Protein backbone atom coordinates (compact mmCIF):
# COMPACT_ATOMS: atom_id res chain seq x y z
CA UNK A 1 0.00 0.00 0.00
CA UNK A 2 1.19 3.53 -0.73
CA UNK A 3 1.82 6.08 1.97
CA UNK A 4 -1.32 7.63 3.43
CA UNK A 5 -2.17 11.08 2.04
CA UNK A 6 -3.09 14.13 4.07
CA UNK A 7 -6.60 13.86 5.50
CA UNK A 8 -9.25 15.18 3.14
CA UNK A 9 -12.43 16.95 4.24
CA UNK A 10 -14.40 13.72 3.87
CA UNK A 11 -11.93 11.82 6.08
CA UNK A 12 -12.12 14.50 8.77
CA UNK A 13 -15.92 14.38 8.70
CA UNK A 14 -16.18 10.61 8.87
CA UNK A 15 -13.90 10.56 11.92
CA UNK A 16 -16.67 12.44 13.65
CA UNK A 17 -19.27 10.01 12.34
CA UNK A 18 -17.35 6.91 13.47
CA UNK A 19 -16.56 8.21 16.96
CA UNK A 20 -18.29 6.45 19.91
CA UNK A 21 -21.76 7.70 20.82
CA UNK A 22 -24.67 6.63 23.09
CA UNK A 23 -27.15 4.16 21.66
CA UNK A 24 -29.61 6.72 20.46
CA UNK A 25 -29.93 9.32 17.76
CA UNK A 26 -27.41 11.96 18.75
CA UNK A 27 -25.63 14.84 17.10
CA UNK A 28 -24.18 18.27 17.58
CA UNK A 29 -26.60 20.98 18.60
CA UNK A 30 -23.88 23.69 18.42
CA UNK A 31 -23.42 26.36 15.75
CA UNK A 32 -23.47 25.31 12.12
CA UNK A 33 -19.97 25.03 10.64
CA UNK A 34 -19.02 25.69 7.01
CA UNK A 35 -17.42 23.20 4.66
CA UNK A 36 -13.77 23.78 4.03
CA UNK A 37 -14.06 22.45 0.47
CA UNK A 38 -16.62 21.06 -1.96
CA UNK A 39 -16.95 17.27 -2.12
CA UNK A 40 -18.23 15.98 -5.48
CA UNK A 41 -17.48 12.39 -6.39
CA UNK A 42 -17.10 11.05 -9.92
CA UNK A 43 -20.41 9.20 -10.04
CA UNK A 44 -22.52 12.23 -9.21
CA UNK A 45 -20.49 14.31 -11.69
CA UNK A 46 -21.37 11.80 -14.40
CA UNK A 47 -25.04 12.16 -13.42
CA UNK A 48 -24.70 15.95 -13.59
CA UNK A 49 -23.20 15.82 -17.09
CA UNK A 50 -25.88 13.39 -18.26
CA UNK A 51 -28.70 15.59 -16.96
CA UNK A 52 -27.21 18.72 -18.54
CA UNK A 53 -26.83 16.94 -21.89
CA UNK A 54 -30.46 15.77 -21.72
CA UNK A 55 -31.64 19.29 -20.93
CA UNK A 56 -29.69 20.74 -23.87
CA UNK A 57 -31.07 18.09 -26.21
CA UNK A 58 -34.61 18.80 -25.02
CA UNK A 59 -34.14 22.54 -25.52
CA UNK A 60 -33.00 22.01 -29.14
CA UNK A 61 -36.13 20.01 -30.05
CA UNK A 62 -39.25 22.09 -30.84
CA UNK A 63 -42.12 21.45 -28.46
CA UNK A 64 -45.10 20.48 -30.58
CA UNK A 65 -47.38 20.55 -27.57
CA UNK A 66 -46.85 24.31 -27.27
CA UNK A 67 -48.47 24.79 -30.69
CA UNK A 68 -51.45 22.64 -29.87
CA UNK A 69 -54.86 24.20 -29.25
CA UNK A 70 -55.61 21.70 -26.49
CA UNK A 71 -55.56 23.15 -22.98
CA UNK A 72 -53.78 21.55 -20.00
CA UNK A 73 -55.81 19.17 -17.86
CA UNK A 74 -53.92 20.15 -14.68
CA UNK A 75 -55.93 22.09 -12.14
CA UNK A 76 -54.59 25.33 -10.57
CA UNK A 77 -54.21 23.51 -7.24
CA UNK A 78 -52.07 20.80 -8.85
CA UNK A 79 -49.88 23.39 -10.57
CA UNK A 80 -49.39 25.28 -7.31
CA UNK A 81 -48.48 22.09 -5.42
CA UNK A 82 -45.97 21.09 -8.10
CA UNK A 83 -44.41 24.57 -8.10
CA UNK A 84 -44.08 24.60 -4.31
CA UNK A 85 -42.42 21.17 -4.32
CA UNK A 86 -39.91 22.19 -6.99
CA UNK A 87 -39.03 25.43 -5.22
CA UNK A 88 -38.52 23.88 -1.76
CA UNK A 89 -34.86 23.32 -0.88
CA UNK A 90 -33.94 19.68 -0.32
CA UNK A 91 -32.02 20.55 2.83
CA UNK A 92 -35.08 22.32 4.27
CA UNK A 93 -37.19 19.18 3.73
CA UNK A 94 -34.56 17.06 5.48
CA UNK A 95 -34.21 19.43 8.43
CA UNK A 96 -37.99 19.58 8.85
CA UNK A 97 -38.13 15.77 8.83
CA UNK A 98 -35.38 15.54 11.46
CA UNK A 99 -36.80 18.28 13.66
CA UNK A 100 -40.29 16.76 13.65
CA UNK A 101 -38.72 13.61 15.15
CA UNK A 102 -36.35 15.47 17.49
CA UNK A 103 -33.30 14.06 15.71
CA UNK A 104 -30.23 16.13 16.50
CA UNK A 105 -28.00 16.66 13.51
CA UNK A 106 -25.13 18.79 12.22
CA UNK A 107 -25.53 20.93 9.11
CA UNK A 108 -22.45 21.64 6.99
CA UNK A 109 -23.18 24.47 4.57
CA UNK A 110 -21.59 24.77 1.10
CA UNK A 111 -18.78 27.14 0.21
CA UNK A 112 -19.63 30.36 -1.60
CA UNK A 113 -17.85 29.07 -4.71
CA UNK A 114 -19.73 25.74 -4.73
CA UNK A 115 -21.79 25.89 -7.90
CA UNK A 116 -23.86 22.83 -6.95
CA UNK A 117 -24.66 24.21 -3.46
CA UNK A 118 -23.87 20.94 -1.67
CA UNK A 119 -25.30 20.74 1.85
CA UNK A 120 -24.31 17.92 4.23
CA UNK A 121 -26.35 16.79 7.23
CA UNK A 122 -24.77 14.26 9.60
CA UNK A 123 -26.27 12.32 12.50
CA UNK A 124 -25.99 9.01 14.33
CA UNK A 125 -28.76 6.41 14.38
CA UNK A 126 -28.97 3.25 16.49
CA UNK A 127 -30.73 0.44 14.58
CA UNK A 128 -30.91 -3.13 15.93
CA UNK A 129 -28.20 -2.32 18.49
CA UNK A 130 -25.91 -1.04 15.72
CA UNK A 131 -24.82 2.59 16.14
CA UNK A 132 -23.51 4.09 12.89
CA UNK A 133 -22.98 7.51 11.37
CA UNK A 134 -25.22 8.61 8.50
CA UNK A 135 -24.60 11.44 6.05
CA UNK A 136 -27.18 13.18 3.85
CA UNK A 137 -25.72 15.06 0.89
CA UNK A 138 -28.12 17.43 -0.87
CA UNK A 139 -26.97 19.15 -4.06
CA UNK A 140 -29.45 21.96 -4.64
CA UNK A 141 -27.88 22.97 -7.97
CA UNK A 142 -28.88 19.76 -9.75
CA UNK A 143 -31.51 18.49 -7.27
CA UNK A 144 -29.67 15.32 -6.28
CA UNK A 145 -29.81 13.67 -2.86
CA UNK A 146 -27.45 10.94 -1.61
CA UNK A 147 -27.60 9.13 1.74
CA UNK A 148 -24.59 7.28 3.16
CA UNK A 149 -24.46 4.66 5.92
CA UNK A 150 -20.90 4.48 7.30
CA UNK A 151 -19.61 1.42 9.16
CA UNK A 152 -18.15 2.12 12.62
CA UNK A 153 -14.86 0.32 11.89
CA UNK A 154 -12.14 0.44 9.24
CA UNK A 155 -10.85 -2.42 7.09
CA UNK A 156 -7.14 -3.07 7.84
CA UNK A 157 -4.66 -3.13 4.96
CA UNK A 158 -4.23 -6.87 5.35
CA UNK A 159 -7.92 -7.38 4.49
CA UNK A 160 -8.49 -4.66 1.88
CA UNK A 161 -7.82 -6.85 -1.17
CA UNK A 162 -10.46 -9.32 0.01
CA UNK A 163 -12.83 -6.43 0.82
CA UNK A 164 -12.44 -4.95 -2.68
CA UNK A 165 -13.13 -8.36 -4.20
CA UNK A 166 -16.24 -8.78 -2.08
CA UNK A 167 -17.54 -5.24 -2.80
CA UNK A 168 -17.08 -5.75 -6.55
CA UNK A 169 -19.09 -8.97 -6.49
CA UNK A 170 -21.88 -7.48 -4.34
CA UNK A 171 -22.21 -4.33 -6.48
CA UNK A 172 -22.40 -6.39 -9.67
CA UNK A 173 -25.90 -7.65 -8.87
CA UNK A 174 -27.15 -4.84 -6.60
CA UNK A 175 -30.23 -3.11 -8.03
CA UNK A 176 -30.43 -0.18 -5.59
CA UNK A 177 -27.43 1.70 -4.23
CA UNK A 178 -23.84 0.50 -3.98
CA UNK A 179 -21.01 -0.23 -1.56
CA UNK A 180 -17.85 1.88 -1.53
CA UNK A 181 -14.48 1.65 0.23
CA UNK A 182 -11.95 4.42 0.81
CA UNK A 183 -8.60 2.73 0.13
CA UNK A 184 -6.79 5.49 2.05
CA UNK A 185 -8.08 4.28 5.41
CA UNK A 186 -10.40 1.31 4.76
CA UNK A 187 -13.74 3.03 5.43
CA UNK A 188 -16.79 1.12 4.14
CA UNK A 189 -20.06 2.89 3.34
CA UNK A 190 -23.35 2.11 1.61
CA UNK A 191 -24.80 4.82 -0.64
CA UNK A 192 -28.31 5.31 -1.98
CA UNK A 193 -29.17 8.34 -4.16
CA UNK A 194 -32.21 9.80 -5.93
CA UNK A 195 -32.91 12.53 -8.48
CA UNK A 196 -35.28 14.84 -6.60
CA UNK A 197 -36.13 16.70 -9.80
CA UNK A 198 -37.59 13.47 -11.20
CA UNK A 199 -39.22 11.83 -8.15
CA UNK A 200 -39.82 14.81 -5.84
CA UNK A 201 -39.27 14.80 -2.09
CA UNK A 202 -41.58 14.39 0.90
CA UNK A 203 -41.68 12.53 4.21
CA UNK A 204 -42.54 9.21 2.57
CA UNK A 205 -39.58 9.42 0.17
CA UNK A 206 -37.19 10.43 2.96
CA UNK A 207 -38.51 7.58 5.13
CA UNK A 208 -37.98 5.09 2.30
CA UNK A 209 -34.40 6.33 1.79
CA UNK A 210 -33.56 6.08 5.47
CA UNK A 211 -35.08 2.62 5.91
CA UNK A 212 -33.28 1.21 2.87
CA UNK A 213 -29.92 2.66 3.96
CA UNK A 214 -30.43 1.41 7.54
CA UNK A 215 -31.22 -2.10 6.32
CA UNK A 216 -28.29 -2.31 3.91
CA UNK A 217 -25.84 -0.78 6.41
CA UNK A 218 -26.87 -3.39 8.99
CA UNK A 219 -26.32 -6.26 6.53
CA UNK A 220 -23.02 -4.75 5.37
CA UNK A 221 -21.84 -4.44 8.97
CA UNK A 222 -22.46 -8.14 9.62
CA UNK A 223 -20.74 -9.20 6.40
CA UNK A 224 -17.57 -7.13 6.83
CA UNK A 225 -17.38 -7.91 10.55
CA UNK A 226 -17.05 -11.56 9.52
CA UNK A 227 -14.38 -10.56 7.00
CA UNK A 228 -12.11 -8.75 9.46
CA UNK A 229 -12.59 -11.51 12.06
CA UNK A 230 -10.97 -13.91 9.59
CA UNK A 231 -7.23 -13.62 10.21
CA UNK A 232 -6.23 -14.83 6.73
CA UNK A 233 -9.07 -14.08 4.28
CA UNK A 234 -8.96 -15.80 0.91
CA UNK A 235 -8.36 -13.65 -2.16
CA UNK A 236 -10.29 -15.77 -4.65
CA UNK A 237 -14.03 -15.36 -4.78
CA UNK A 238 -15.23 -19.00 -4.30
CA UNK A 239 -13.04 -19.54 -1.22
CA UNK A 240 -13.88 -16.12 0.24
CA UNK A 241 -17.63 -16.65 -0.12
CA UNK A 242 -17.37 -20.16 1.32
CA UNK A 243 -15.51 -18.86 4.39
CA UNK A 244 -18.02 -16.06 4.97
CA UNK A 245 -20.96 -18.45 4.53
CA UNK A 246 -19.46 -20.81 7.10
CA UNK A 247 -19.03 -17.93 9.58
CA UNK A 248 -22.63 -16.85 9.05
CA UNK A 249 -23.90 -20.42 9.50
CA UNK A 250 -21.90 -20.83 12.71
CA UNK A 251 -24.00 -18.07 14.30
CA UNK A 252 -27.24 -19.83 13.39
CA UNK A 253 -26.63 -23.59 13.27
CA UNK A 254 -24.63 -26.19 15.17
CA UNK A 255 -21.85 -27.13 12.75
CA UNK A 256 -20.47 -30.72 12.76
CA UNK A 257 -17.13 -31.13 14.55
CA UNK A 258 -14.91 -33.97 15.73
CA UNK A 259 -15.45 -33.00 19.37
CA UNK A 260 -18.19 -34.49 21.54
CA UNK A 261 -21.21 -32.18 21.88
Flag whether 43 is in a domain: no
Q: What is the pLDDT of residue 238?
A: 78
Question: Quick one: which of 137, 144, 122 has its CA closest to 194?
Answer: 144
Q: What is the pLDDT of residue 49?
A: 56
Flag whether 42 is in a domain: no
Q: What is the pLDDT of residue 234?
A: 76
Question: Quick one: which of 83, 84, 80, 126 has its CA closest to 103?
Answer: 126
Q: What is the pLDDT of residue 252?
A: 64
Q: What is the pLDDT of residue 149?
A: 97
**Residues of the chain falling short of pLDDT 70:** 1-87, 249-261
What angle do helix axes 203-229 and 157-172 make, rounded to 10 degrees? Answer: 130
Q: What is the pLDDT of residue 207?
A: 96
Q: What is the pTM of this model?
A: 0.65
Flag whether 221 is in a domain: yes
User: Distance between the two ends of the chain, CA-based, in angstroms?
Assistant: 44
CATH of the domain at 214: 3.30.1460.10
Q: What is the pLDDT of residue 105?
A: 95
Flag whether 85 is in a domain: yes
Flag whether 232 is in a domain: yes
Flag whether 56 is in a domain: no
Contact 212, 192 (CB under 8 A): yes
Its domain, for residue 150, covers: 10-36+75-250
Q: What is the pLDDT of residue 186?
A: 95
Tally of domains within the chain:
1
Flag whether 48 is in a domain: no
Contact 27, 123 (CB under 8 A): yes
Contacts of 207 (CB under 8 A, 6+ apart): none
Flag whether 5 is in a domain: no
Q: What is the pLDDT of residue 220?
A: 94
Q: What is the pLDDT of residue 242?
A: 78
Amino acid sequence: MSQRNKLSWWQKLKRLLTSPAPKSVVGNAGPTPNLSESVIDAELNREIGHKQACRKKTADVPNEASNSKHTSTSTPAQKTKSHNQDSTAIVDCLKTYFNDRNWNHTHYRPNNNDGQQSHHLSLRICHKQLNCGYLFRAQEGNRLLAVYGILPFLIPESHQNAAILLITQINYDMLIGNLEMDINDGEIRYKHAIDVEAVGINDDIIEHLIQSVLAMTTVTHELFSDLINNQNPAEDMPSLLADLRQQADSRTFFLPTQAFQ
